[in-house]
Chain A
Amino acid sequence: DVKVTQSSRYLVKRTGEKVFLECVQDMDHENMFWYRQDPGLGLRLIYFSYDVKMKEKGDIPEGYSVSREKKERFSLILESASTNQTSMYLCATCDEAGGVDTQYFGPGTRLTVL
């Protein structure tokens, strides 16, 4: 079974703080994704990565950056957290090399910015 873990289930930060969200997968998947999920809006793609040190912007990258130094780890960084970044953040992985496009998700991090 694919296992995707996220560093925190719940996180509370203050406006202006730098926030790190970590995602780790144990299946050697090439592709990793960061989404945010908000009521009525579904999942929106922030950033994704096809390989180590590779990253591409998704649909809503503003206010976020990412880092992928190792294949199994993909970090989402909020340089200066704002209240409109309060959301559920979901990490996903996908083994494109295997010809299967299914994305497998972590449990999510509920971030509240005060």
Chain B
Amino acid sequence: GESVGLHLPTLSVQEGDNSIINCAYSNSASDYFIWYKQESGKGPQFIIDIRSNMDKRQGQRVTVLLNKTVKHLSLQIAATQPGDSAVYFCAEKTTGTASKLTFGTGTRLQVTL
């Protein structure tokens, strides 16, 4: 498959452990955030989202935390599995920009057995 990011930061996690992937955003006017997962050779896949009026949102095995004070977003994956290996990136939408998103460059998650 094709690599989507040759120079990405990489997080290596053992199977079964929890993973935490971080994202810093710059615009304090951003009001909506999304985490995407992108496997090699595929398009990004929606994982979970959160609006700025929330601090935490949980999905199936995933949790997103938002700290507006320091403009930081994190994605927590519980009991990481080999199928979680991918590039993860965050996206933010700024108030007043319709549906336009600004994307981070991503973090590669490698799950070791």
A and B together in one complex = yes
A-side contacts of B100, CB under 8 Å: 45, 48, 58
Stretch at the interface among A11-19, A61-69, A74-82, A99-107: A99-107
Choose one: A4, A42, A50, A58; the contact of B105 (CB below 8 Å).
A42
User: Does B25 count as interface, using CB distance less than 8 angstroms?
Assistant: no
Contact B6 A102 (CB under 8 A): no
B-side contacts of A102, CB under 8 Å: 34, 46, 49
Contact A39 B93 (CB under 8 A): no
Contact A101 B44 (CB under 8 A): no
B-side contacts of A43, CB under 8 Å: 44, 89, 103
A-side contacts of B6, CB under 8 Å: 39-40
Number of interface residues of A (CB under 8 A): 25
B69-92 Cβ-contact flags toward A at 8 Å (1 or 0): 000000000000000000001010
A-side contacts of B7, CB under 8 Å: 39-40
Contact A108 B99 (CB under 8 A): no
User: Does A31 count as interface, using CB distance less than 8 angstroms?
Assistant: yes
Choose one: B2, B42, B93, B98; the contact of A50 (CB below 8 Å).
B98
User: Does B3 count as interface, using CB distance less than 8 angstroms?
Assistant: yes
Residues of chain B having any CB pair with chain A under 8 Å? 2-8, 32, 34, 36, 41-46, 49, 89, 91, 93, 98-101, 103-106
Residues of chain A having any CB pair with chain B under 8 Å? 4, 31, 37, 39-43, 45, 48, 50, 58, 88, 90, 94, 96, 101-108, 110
Q: Can you list 7 residue pairs at the A/B interface with Cβ under 8 Å?
A: A40-B7, A42-B103, A48-B99, A90-B44, A102-B34, A102-B46, A105-B36
